[in-house]
Amino acid sequence: MVGKMKLLFSMIVASVAFAFFILCPRMVGMAAVIAETRNVNPYMVVFVGAIMAVPLFGLMFFVLNTFGAEWAIILAVVTDVLAALFMGVFNWKSTFQIIVIATFLWIGIIVADFMSKILF
């Protein structure tokens, strides 16, 4: 019984930590833009969108774990473009910007890994 309680406590701590990671200005900003674009309650966009995103988190973890960071970044770009298409605000300039940002993210992952091996 003690082992199960310890495992449950560890799961709660890890889940709270994950919740803090997904709480970021980009997500909140996008929720505000989406809510304003569709003239809907931003709190409901956050709540319902978070529930709908649960299986997408699983998909993203599967892709990251199975294929690596490069493919997870590609999936993130695809989902950003899909969001723009779904909202009816797609344009090539924004798509190009997303790809440039993703490229710098990927480079940052490589450089961070390299530098941490040198420093630590």
pLDDT class of 66 with cuts at 50, 70, 90: very high
Say what the pLDDT of residue 74 is: 94
CA torsion 58-96-23-17 (nearest 10°) is 50
Say what the pLDDT of residue 24 is: 79
| Nearest one of 66, 98, 70 to 82, comparing CA atoms | 98
CB 98 within 8 A of CB 77: yes
pLDDT class of 28 with cuts at 50, 70, 90: confident
Say what the pLDDT of residue 62 is: 97
Say what the pLDDT of residue 29 is: 85
**Mean per-residue pLDDT of the chain:** 90
Q: What is the DSSP string of 34-102?
A: HHHHHT--HHHHHHHHHHHHHHHHHHHHHHHHHH-HHHHHHHHHHHHHHHHHHHT---HHHHHHHHHHH
Angle between helices 25-38 and 69-87 (to 10 degrees): 20
Domain boundaries, given as residue ranges, for the chain:
1-67, 69-120
pLDDT at 94 over 90: no
Cα gap 59→73, rounded to integer Å: 12
pLDDT at 19 over 90: no
